[in-house]
Amino acid sequence: MSKISLIKEDITKVHADAIVNAANSALLGGGGVDGAIHRVAGPGLPRECRKIGGCPTGEARITGGYNLPAKFVIHTVGPVWSGRAAEREDALLAGCYRNSLALAYENGVRTIAFPSISTGAYRFPVERASKIAVREIREFLDSHPGMEKVIIVCFGDEVFRAYEEALK
């Protein structure tokens, strides 16, 4: 059975050891999935994020999950798509998946849920992003047999279809 599953859901409802947040480099909350995670987690989350003091694009930071069903939140900062430096933007997005998975694994996470990083407010083309996400997740799973489950959480049919295609 595949360790990757694809679901249509609100990520704040997902029961996994960790959920990933598509944050911005200030780590102080925002709209989209970031706003939803902060709303459900409650005030402890921004307090912990403030202490971290930000995160560069492509990297990841870990906090508690507070009122979320997940024990941890992995905050990663996706690239803003411009298309003028596509290869660099691809590499930064790949880094988000790789670094989030590695940080989670080091902290004992064995089940983790990702949103479609950078494909909302940051405008990364979802078809392109889904291929990068699936490639990085598969590579990590191949090299870390201890990781049990990676859930890709899609908000909306277009995003779901893109990931379905990328998983074929």
- Residue 56 or residue 108: which is nearer to ligand AR6 going by CB? 56
- Residue 51 or residue 145: which is nearer to ligand AR6 going by CB? 51
Evaluate the CA torsion angle 66, 68, 73, 79 in order and state its sign: negative
Of 42, 44, 56, 156, which lies in the binding site for ligand AR6, with binding defined by CB under 6 A?
156
- Residue 103 or residue 152: which is nearer to ligand AR6 going by CB? 152
Q: How many Cα atoms occupy the beta-carbon half-sphere of 35 within 13 Å? A: 5
Buried b (16+ CB within 10 A) or exposed e, 101-130: bebbbeeebebbbbbbbbbbebebebebbb
CB of 108 to ligand AR6, least distance (A): 24
Contact call for residue 12 and ligand AR6 (CB under 6 A): yes
Pick out residues in 31-70 that bind ligand AR6 (CB under 6 A).
31-34, 36
Q: Are 74 and 104 in contact (CB under 8 A)?
A: yes
Among 57-65, 104-112, 132-140, 150-158, which window interacts with ligand AR6 (CB under 6 A)?
150-158
Contact call for residue 81 and ligand AR6 (CB under 6 A): no
Pick out residues in 84-113 that bind ligand AR6 (CB under 6 A).
none
Among 4-12, 45-53, 64-72, 134-142, which window interacts with ligand AR6 (CB under 6 A)?
4-12
Binding site for ligand AR6 (CB under 6 A): 10-12, 22-24, 30-34, 36, 78, 115-122, 153, 155-156, 159
